């Protein structure tokens, strides 16, 4: 269920938001690397790679955009390049 949400975010916020999807069936080592306990898990990082927020379970597009805004990143304010 998250795949179309992530694809939409990637397209809508191209150049303003980097979206990465890891298929855990192909990369089982990511469970330990990212400390995952549930699928899906969304992890928000700042530009320096510091984890800002983690959510487990489905997370809709509007909720994701709202969380970025809450974290101080208003994606709607930036003009698409």
* pLDDT tens sequence across 30-65: 999 999 999 999 999 999 999 999 999 999 999 999
- Does 78 score more than 80 pLDDT? no
- Does 2 score more than 90 pLDDT? yes
Q: What is the CATH number of the domain that holds 70?
A: 3.40.30.10
Residue 35, Cβ density class (10 Å: 0-12 exposed, 13-18 middle, ≥19 buried)? exposed
Model-level pTM? 0.87
Domain count, the chain: 1
- Does 79 score more than 50 pLDDT? no
Q: What is the pLDDT of residues 16-28, one digit of tens each?
A: 999 999 999 999 9
Domain residue limits at 68: 2-77
């Amino acid at each position: 269920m998250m795949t179309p949400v992530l694809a939409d975010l990637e397209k809508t916020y191209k150049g303003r938001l980097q979206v990465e999807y890891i298929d855990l069936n192909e990369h089982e080592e990511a469970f330990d690397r990212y400390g995952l306990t549930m699928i899906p898990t969304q992890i928000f990082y700042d530009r320096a790679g510091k984890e800002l927020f983690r959510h487990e379970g489905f997370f809709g597009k509007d909720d994701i955009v709202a969380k970025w805004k809450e974290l101080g990143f208003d994606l709607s304010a930036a003009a698409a390049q």
